[in-house]
Amino acid sequence: MLALYKKYVPAFVLNRLATNPAPPQKPYSENFQAAALFADIAQFTIVTEKIMSQSSTGLLELAGVINKYLGRQIEMIDEFGGDIFKFAGDAVFAVWKADNPEDLKEKTRKTVQCALAIQKELSNFPIARDIEVSLRIGIGAGPMTALSLGGLFDRWEILVAGDTVRQTALAEKEAEPGTVVIHPRAWQLLEKGGFGEKISSKVFKLKHASPSLGSVRETSRIHAIEERAEEALRCYIPRSIVTIVGTDEKPTSLEEQFAERIVSVLFINIEDWSLSFPLERLHRILQIVQGCLYRYEGSINRFGIEDKGSVILAAFGLPPLFHGDDPLRAMYAARDIVRELSELGHRATTGVATGLVFCGPMGNDIRSEYTMHGNVVNLAARLMQASDGVYCDAASYYLMQDLGFKPAPESQDRAIHAASRERLDFQALDPMQVKGRRDPVQVYRLKGP
């Protein structure tokens, strides 16, 4: 099983387990220097809607084309020695860890070379009839921090944060489709080779590859791992993947790998999250979120740092779990997260949306991650961004209304019944225009919470 699990975590985790194969017992953080890139498909929401409108099996087709496109990025990043830390929907965050200041310069050049090679091959890439996609890539370099947090029910989350992560995000925002933009701090590490130009006071745009670095593949960068590390490795892998890997019959076709599910998506933004907090406090914040989600049998799908705090993507209804009252569970979890983090002195905003997604392991045999795609994921993110507490879409509201805002008759677990003693009260807001949607969407705000 160990070999099947390894592709679901970054090389950073595998190398730590090679040193200490025991299951994690407490949080940790590690500071290091690295170069990094963030690659994101331009106008992905619009691309998703176009593919969905072309076919009755649009979700499955979308899964296939994204996997093909993403798979080639993974191969190229691996060839250039990068470690893919995280997937973020249609985006990839990869790291080139450096041993010393001089090595950081070389790693930055490798990152640049990789990014330009990706753009050369994958710009204006045809993925469907009359639909082409391109990437925006941002590059940064400098200090980074990797953290292992949570641990509730032996489920640990790996988070990478720090100035370099912020640099890549800022650079990517300045990039046009098909271009590579580098943050000034990373630019300073590059020798003046005449392969870029300044495009603003913030960033530089790269025009062509840096001088050849010779062979770039680093096949030995992942150390050997003992079989007894399997238990520890599972602590970093979602239950959905453990379930898939643990089945006797392994899926082979695309249809078997992916599932179309009605899912309630919950986006959470913890606005004042900061690496300046003590490690134990960061650990406690995530444990509160885990507790609120697991209480109603939800799961964390993604955890990352953005400009305005930490963002967590959670879901209710992903395999192997499904409930007839998943929208209600998502709302109670969102309410509890906002309340309990407020008691700890932190402000959280949330957005809930319910609808059809495709979910499954995206990537290839080099690196993969369990993810979900669909317009409803984008909608939940937009609601979170607009929210001052707990917002939900019309689909979630009407599904809860059909249940009388009570648990489904078949629900037996105590948590949802205990929560339902306090009735949810909503305020209908004016229809909201959100990015990626032609028409305004109806939004409901949970009073309180």
**Rounded CA separation 269/351 (Å):** 9
pLDDT in tens, 17-68: 999 999 999 999 999 999 999 999 887 666 666 666 666 666 666 677 778 8
Displacement of CA 405 from its chain's centroid (Å): 30
**Domain regions of the chain by residue span:** 1-237, 253-449
Identical fold for domains 1-237 and 253-449, yes or no, is yes
pLDDT in tens, 338-357: 999 999 999 999 999 999 98
The residues, any chain, with a CB within 8 Å of residue 80's CB and separated by 6 or more, are 96, 110, 111, 113, 114, 117, 216, 217
The CATH architecture that domain 1-237 belongs to is 2-Layer Sandwich (3.30)
pLDDT in tens, 96-152: 999 999 999 999 999 999 999 999 998 887 766 777 788 999 999 999 999 999 999
The pLDDT > 90 percentage for the chain reads 59
pTM for this one?
A: 0.89
Q: 102-116, 119-133, 189-203, 217-231: lowest mean pLDDT where?
A: 189-203
CATH class of the domain whose range is 253-449:
alpha beta
Reported as a pLDDT band with limits 50, 70 and 90, residue 3 is confident
Phi, psi dihedral angles at 30 (to 5 degrees): -135, 125
Residue 65 pLDDT? 74
pLDDT in tens, 155-178: 999 999 999 999 999 999 989 999
Q: 91-95, 242-246, 387-391, 430-434: lowest mean pLDDT where?
A: 242-246
What does DSSP say about strands 131-133 and 125-128: parallel, antiparallel, or unpaired? Answer: antiparallel
The residues, any chain, with a CB within 8 Å of residue 395's CB and separated by 6 or more, are 327, 353, 354, 355, 376
Query: Mean pLDDT, to the nearest integer, of 371-375?
Result: 83
Half-sphere exposure of 353 (CA within 13 A, CB side): 24
For the stretch 257-281, what's the b/e string if a residue is b when 16 or more beta carbons lie within 10 angstroms of its beta carbon? Answer: bbbbbebbbbbbbbeebebeeebee
